[in-house]
Chains A and B, each alone.
Chain A
Amino acid sequence: MKLLFDRIDEPGLNTLPVYEARGGYESLRKALAMPPEAVLNELEASGLRGRGGAGFAMGKKVSFLPKGAMDKYLVCNADESEPGTFKDRELMQKSPHMLIEGLIIASYAAGANRSFIYIRGEYVLQADMLDAALHEAREQGYVGENILASGHSLSLVVHRGAGAYICGEETGLLDSLEGKRGNPRLKPPFPANQGLYQGPTLINNVETLATVPTIMRMGGDQYAKLGVETSTGTKLVSVSGHVQRPGNYEIELGIPSREIIYGLAGGPPEGREVKCWFPGGSSSPVLTADELDVPYDFNSLAEVRSMLGSGAIIVVDDSTPILDVALKVAKFYRHESCGKCTPCREGTNWTVKMLERIDSGEATPMDLEIMASVQEHIMGNCLCVLGDAMAMPISSMIVKFREEFEAHMQAAQARARADLGVADAALTAADALSAEGAAAHA
């Protein structure tokens, strides 16, 4: 079942004529013919959950916005920076109009008149595509004053970021969009009440908004029949790492994870085995090969103490030491921590230093305990979820691969000791030589 990726490689799909020829913007016409409440009902009925990471029901999120005449904002979060995630990139690049259409419908349902697409600065091509598509849509009257004579007006700006993972966090994104450092804000107040420019703001992921036209076309109830009860619809999954066919795949939620990793993506290279995999981007706790049969949906993954997140599966095979994976992950979060709150700023830094010490043979098993305890101290104590995003995978790795960590530690110690022995021997030899030299001079 392909909804978002239906004939995605069709040439010229990024242009309006081709998109319209496929029935594009029909959903918009349909939605504008309905009262906003009806559109909202459709969205709620679809059971669509946010595709950005948190998995919050989209319809409910829209309904949180206060009613009444005021400046409301709709922000599309296209700051796709979670390692392993690249689904929005493909969508925006190949079918930008789908996003724009979904965004207009959502703005209509939410009563928002100003909208922004916050796209990460690295996506130059995709931002250009969006700008071009937006230009076409504006020319055609889909964006602007009094859209299709419905009375609904919408301004839309594609705002390019400049490289900061934290701007994918919704409040960090808002600060960044306001021209500030992308520091997350304290919640409450939630963006639905006080968001962009202190006004009520709805923030949605690209994939979520791009799904909206489909829902309008199919009807919410029909859409809800796809997938499983608590996770409806289809989902784009980005599979990367040690698989033979990395890439984006559209799946119906609830299929076994093995089917995605082995079936669609071809599994690990010949002769290798899956050691562990991240089911939802590098922030999700890792799962092992034993957990490959878990159904791929929000609730099933939560049951095995992980999460679906942004739907990015990273597969690590048995050729890679777990410490390298942990260090990569921890270094990334250290680099991307905004520095606003203490546990995240200092905790990520400390974790990296401890992991490096394990690798250089200067650590003892007690360090593993300290590291686990530091992760505990980060989790739940931070201002936003970035700290948790490091602490969760690291602590899951410590739990699931403790023996490997300990073995690595011992091997590194032995290596260091051997090196030290060699160095000492060399030093002694050098001393002896210089002593000889001194004797000769005397």
Chain B
Amino acid sequence: MSALRRPIPRYAHGSRVPPGWDEAADLTKEPSPVPDPATTEVPATLREEIEGHMALYPDSRSATLPALEAAQRVHGWCSPEAIEQVACVMRLTPAYLVSVASFYDMLETSPVGKHSVYVCTNISCSLRGADELYGAVRTAAGDDPEFNVRAFECLGACDIAPMASVDGAYVGPLSIEDVPRLLDDVRAGREVLPEKQLARRPCADAEASA
């Protein structure tokens, strides 16, 4: 295919337009103020956790991020339902929360797989072959709905480049050969590539480790 006739780039949801841009308000819906506690059901553990976070700060609104993170853990993503539950406990409007949630990369505003595999594709990792690694992980994961494979901006582990964060655990340096085992470990619920876990890596500075 010629460069001059290259296909028009599309977003992950298949549109040429970023998600959300083309969506109108549904006029049959009512406006969404702070949810009514009487009609919004919140799982007791989630409520407890959010309230715990709120108590830590002078202004309870500071707990927004931890609260959204907690809700995402329960619901898998920041679904409208999850947002409403957080809004109900924190006494904020759902719109405020969705605005915050969509700002941050780690809060998902559309449904995703249960296991997150963030492959760092920023400069240091890409210099050492991260783009190929990401391609390999994507291909290997295929359309397995269990996985949420994402190219991520710098994860702060350039010393083990190219690397990935698998459900929060950093592993690296990865080669393309490691990919099948990585996914198998995740599927099996094992620790992923134990020998490549960052947690076990000594400091590079030889004198320091001495």
Measured CB to CB, the residues of A under 8 A from B are 2, 5-9, 71, 80-86, 88-90, 93-94, 114, 120-125, 157, 159-165, 176-182, 197, 238-242, 245-250, 264-265, 282, 312, 314, 316, 320, 324-325, 328-329, 332, 335-336, 338, 360-362, 412, 415-416, 419-420, 422-423
Contact = CB atoms under 8 A, between A and B. Distances in A.
Contacts of B127: 241-242, 314, 316, 320
26 contacts: A5-B205, A9-B202, A80-B156, A85-B158, A124-B169, A125-B170, A125-B198, A161-B65, A161-B104, A162-B69, A163-B104, A176-B65, A178-B62, A180-B64, A240-B159, A241-B124, A249-B205, A264-B205, A316-B127, A325-B123, A328-B123, A332-B122, A335-B153, A338-B103, A416-B3, A422-B2
Contacts of B66: 159-160
Nearest to B64: A179
Nearest to A324: B126
Interface of B: 1-6, 56-59, 61-66, 68-69, 99-100, 103-107, 118, 122-124, 126-128, 152-161, 165, 168-170, 198-199, 202-205, 207-210
B208 A7 contact: yes
B118 A238 contact: no
A185 B79 CA distance: 29
Contacts of B65: 121, 159-162, 176, 179
Contact of A179 (B63, B199, B207): B63
B58 A122 contact: no
Contacts, number: 201
A181 B123 contact: no
B168 A157 contact: no
A248 B169 contact: no
Contact of A240 (B61, B68, B124): B124
Contacts of B165: 122
Contacts of A177: 62
Q: Which of A241, A338, A361 has the most CB of B within 10 A?
A: A241
A408 to B, nearest CB: 13
B209 A83 contact: no
Given A8-B203, A86-B159, A240-B161, A181 B209 contact: no
Contacts of A120: 156
Contact of A164 (B58, B62, B103): B103
A275 to B, nearest CB: 11
B156 A8 contact: no
Contact of A420 (B4, B118, B208): B4
A361 B3 contact: yes
Contacts of B204: 239, 245-249, 265
B123 A329 contact: yes
A6 B61 CA distance: 40
A181 B103 contact: yes
Nearest to B210: A7
A8 B1 CA distance: 53
Given A197-B59, A419-B3, 13 more contacts: A122-B152, A159-B62, A159-B65, A162-B105, A163-B105, A163-B107, A180-B61, A238-B158, A247-B203, A248-B204, A312-B158, A362-B4, A416-B2
